[in-house]
């Protein structure tokens, strides 16, 4: 199986990855550092994991395990998982007016 990993998370508590990232406080903050940054990508309203925050690293790694744990994982899948890390180019988000300098 090839899993496509987009770095943006759809901002809805129905999406377990976004909900957990929000609860852990590992999402990119707005310019004031108070609220989670909101941008737009193909799913609509989106947030991004703040990989400069060391607390995000274990959270992100946990998403790619194939065994059941206390949080969401690929347990309905196969152990033969390959990653396609998609849309990580700066041009994928630089068209947003709020990010233009």
**pLDDT of 12 over the 70 cut:** yes
Confidence band, pLDDT 50/70/90 cuts, at residue 14: very high
Question: What confidence score (pLDDT) does residue 100 get?
Answer: 47
Q: State the residue range of the domain holding 93.
A: 2-99
Q: Minimum mean pLDDT among 26-35, 68-77, 90-99: which range? A: 90-99
- Residue where the block lists tokens 């899993």: 3
- pLDDT, greater one: 37 or 96: 37
Check residue 77 and give its pLDDT: 60
Give dist(CA 56, CA 26) in Å, integer.
5
How many domains, the chain? 1
Give the whole-angstrom CA distance, residue 67 versus residue 79. Answer: 9
pLDDT in tens, 29-56: 988 888 999 988 878 899 999 999 999 9
Pairing mode, strands 44-48 and 8-10: antiparallel
Q: Report how far apart, in Å, the C-alpha atoms of 73 and of each of 7, 43, 48, 64, 95 are.
A: 17, 21, 19, 6, 32
Residue 90 carries which DSSP code? G
Q: Which residue has the tokens 């959270």?
A: 59
């Amino acid at each position: 199986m090839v899993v496509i990993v987009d770095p943006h998370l759809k901002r809805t508590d129905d999406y377990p990855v976004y909900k957990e990232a929000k609860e852990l406080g590992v999402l990119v903050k707005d310019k004031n550092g108070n609220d989670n940054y909101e941008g737009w990508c193909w799913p609509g309203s989106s947030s991004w994991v703040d990989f400069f925050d060391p607390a995000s690293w274990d959270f992100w790694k946990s998403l790619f395990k194939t065994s059941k744990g206390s949080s969401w994982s690929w347990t309905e899948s196969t152990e033969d998982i390959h990653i396609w890390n998609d849309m990580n180019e700066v041009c994928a988000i630089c068209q947003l007016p709020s990010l233009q300098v």
